[in-house]
A and B are shown apart, each in its own frame.
Chain A
Amino acid sequence: EAGVAQSPRYKIIEKRQSVAFWCNPISGHATLYWYQQILGQGPKLLIQFQNNGVVDDSQLPKDRFSAERLKGVDSTLKIQPAKLEDSAVYLCASSQGGHSTDTQYFGPGTRLTVL
């Protein structure tokens, strides 16, 4: 079974530029998550989708971050404009449902460096 796919793996941009990340979850998984992992810290949830609807985006900086999940499958996360403090690894995860006992499966992440 294929895992969660993400691209690109690495991205370097200047501050105030825009950037987009792509995620393809495990086939059949209804729930998709985007996490931000700053160096030396645990991942922090940015947004959670159930199919193509948003369940929780309370920690998403909506003035600069946006995300969508068209047709309930792939998802994109965008940052516009980027700030220095956005340098982090952006992780996508998926799970079959949204139950607390469900295992979340993570992709390899996209490492973003903002100069």
Chain B
Amino acid sequence: GNSVTQMEGPVTLSEEAFLTINCTYTATGYPSLFWYVQYPGEGLQLLLKATKADDKGSNKGFEATYRKETTSFHLEKGSVQVSDSAVYFCALNPSSGSARQLTFGSGTQLTVLP
């Protein structure tokens, strides 16, 4: 079946540090890949997505590249801010099958200290 594995948290960084959150997936075919973010007290928001191999999704300084050969979609940001503190979820949507449900990883809690 489909699955997503994220690096375990929590992750604590100082402001302006470099961020990497690892994400690997298992799926047949060519799924679409997503990063969602959940700020405290709020719902899930799409951060970025990539729909085919070698695509790079980017938004708000965050980037992730769809690597088919390593089945990965790692999230990176060059300089984090306190306002980036949130829980980050990697997710996939399979390319086949009658349903289009998202399969999520377990989430990575990020705390950025001033």
Contact = CB atoms under 8 A, between A and B. Distances in A.
A48 B100 contact: yes
Interface in A22-71: 31, 33, 35, 40-45, 48, 55-56
Nearest to B98: A55
A98 B100 contact: yes
Interface in B6-34: 31-32, 34
B51 A101 contact: yes
Contacts of A56: 98-99, 101
A112 to B, nearest CB: 15
Interface residues of A, number: 28
B79 interface: no
B92 to A, nearest CB: 9
A91 B44 contact: yes
Contacts of B45: 106
Given A55-B99, A56-B101, A100-B100, A43 B106 contact: no
Contacts of A101: 32, 49, 51, 93
Nearest to A98: B100
Contacts of B91: 42
B46 A48 contact: no
Interface in B30-49: 31-32, 34, 36, 42-46, 49
20 contacts: A40-B106, A41-B106, A42-B89, A42-B91, A42-B104, A42-B105, A42-B107, A44-B104, A48-B99, A91-B43, A93-B44, A95-B100, A100-B31, A100-B32, A100-B93, A101-B32, A101-B51, A102-B93, A104-B102, A109-B43
Interface of B: 4, 31-32, 34, 36, 42-46, 49, 51, 89, 91, 93-95, 98-102, 104-107
Interface of A: 4, 31, 33, 35, 40-45, 48, 55-56, 91, 93, 95, 98-109
The 7 tightest CB contacts between A and B, nearest first, are: A42-B104, A56-B99, A45-B101, A106-B44, A108-B43, A100-B93, A101-B51
